[in-house]
């Protein structure tokens, strides 16, 4: 996966930017609040998240690592795709949205284009506990790691419930400090094979 991009801004639009890297222009989808601050010719660096689809490769860019981690967490919610997740981060960083989720502020969440009342309720229901780690503007390393592993398990075909219980089993039986996401994923798959 492409983890980061550094280069010069070639052009900007409402929610995207073209960054020139070694003579190649890379299109990044970025939150509107970030795109509005960029100047053509400016040297920039983004943390990135790549979405692979049958018909496209879409690269999302984030000026802060915590925003990328929160974007990944948003993608774990049923019915939230990358465009809605980007829309959620369009006007506020991870800390602001996480605070709204943790405090069940449905009114401000419902105002996000593409989310609506049911989407806002789903965000609060599925992420209230996990959002607390982001509310201060810093990401809890173990929570970010567990989110990555949970998303990977779901990508391998496990249900939300199965991946959650596999991850809880790993967290309770193993010390995960210092382990990579791949190592924790292997442990979770071993536990999943025993059930």
What is the mean pLDDT, run by run of 10 residues, along the chain of 195 residues?
Answer: 89 92 93 89 93 90 89 89 89 83 83 85 85 65 69 81 82 72 85 64
84-103: burial string, b at 16+ Cβ within 10 Å, e else: bbbbbbbebbbbebbbbbbe
**Residue 27 falls within a domain, yes or no?**
yes
Rounded Cα distance, 130 and 141, in Å: 12
Looking at the fold, whether 127 and 71 belong to one and the same domain comes out as: yes
Range of the domain at 106: 65-131
**Residue 136 falls within a domain, yes or no?**
no
- Tokens coding 82: 């990358």
Which pLDDT belongs to residue 97?
86
CB 89 within 8 A of CB 30: no
Tell me how many domains the chain contains.
3
Looking at the fold, whether 127 and 69 belong to one and the same domain comes out as: yes
What secondary structure does DSSP assign to 47-115, as a single string? EEEEEE-SS-EEEEEESSHHHHHHHHHHHTSTT--HHHHHHHTSSS-HHHHHHHHHTT-HHHHHTSTTT
Looking at the fold, whether 101 and 148 belong to one and the same domain comes out as: no
Which pLDDT belongs to residue 49?
92
**Residue 103 falls within a domain, yes or no?**
yes
Which pLDDT belongs to residue 152?
80
Looking at the fold, whether 123 and 151 belong to one and the same domain comes out as: no
Looking at the fold, whether 50 and 80 belong to one and the same domain comes out as: no
Looking at the fold, whether 97 and 122 belong to one and the same domain comes out as: yes
CB 9 within 8 A of CB 26: no
For 34, the 3-state DSSP assignment is: helix
Which pLDDT belongs to residue 174?
64
Looking at the fold, whether 149 and 115 belong to one and the same domain comes out as: no
Looking at the fold, whether 183 and 160 belong to one and the same domain comes out as: yes
Looking at the fold, whether 56 and 87 belong to one and the same domain comes out as: no
Beta partners for 24? 21
Question: How far does Cα 78 stand from its chain's mean position?
Answer: 14
């Amino acid at each position: 996966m492409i983890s980061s991009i550094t280069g010069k801004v070639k052009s900007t639009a409402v929610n995207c930017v073209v960054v020139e890297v070694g003579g190649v222009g890379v299109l990044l989808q970025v939150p509107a609040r970030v795109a509005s601050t960029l100047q053509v010719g400016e040297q920039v660096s983004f943390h990135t998240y790549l979405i692979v689809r049958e018909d496209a490769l879409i690269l999302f860019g984030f000026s802060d690592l915590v925003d990328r981690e929160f974007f990944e967490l948003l993608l774990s919610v049923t019915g939230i795709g990358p465009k809605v997740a980007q829309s959620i981060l369009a006007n506020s960083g991870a800390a602001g949205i996480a605070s709204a989720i943790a405090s069940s502020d449905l009114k401000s969440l419902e105002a996000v284009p593409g989310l609506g009342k049911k989407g806002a309720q789903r965000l609060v229901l599925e992420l209230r506990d996990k959002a607390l780690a982001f509310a201060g503007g810093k990401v809890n390393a173990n929570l970010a790691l567990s989110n990555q592993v949970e998303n990977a398990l779901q990508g391998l075909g496990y249900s939300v419930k199965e991946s959650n219980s596999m991850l809880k089993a790993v967290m309770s039986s193993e010390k995960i400090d210092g382990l990579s996401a791949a190592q924790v994923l292997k442990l979770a798959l071993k536990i999943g094979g025993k059930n």
